[in-house]
Amino acid sequence: IEFLLTATILVNENGIFNDDQYEYEEIGIPFLAALGRGIYEFEQQQKEQS
| pLDDT, tens digit, 9 for 90 and up, residues 23-37 | 999 999 999 999 999
Give 2-23 pLDDT, tens digit per residue: 889 999 999 999 999 999 999 9
- Average pLDDT rounded to a whole number, residues 35-48: 95
Rounded to whole angstroms, the Cα distance separating 14 from 34 reads 23
Rounded to whole angstroms, the Cα distance separating 11 from 19 reads 13
The domain containing residue 43 runs over which residues? Answer: 1-50
Nearest CA to 24 out of 37, 40, 13 is that of: 13
Nearest CA to 1 out of 35, 34, 46, 49 is that of: 46
Contacts of 13 (CB under 8 A, 6+ apart): 23, 27
Say how many domains are in the chain. 1
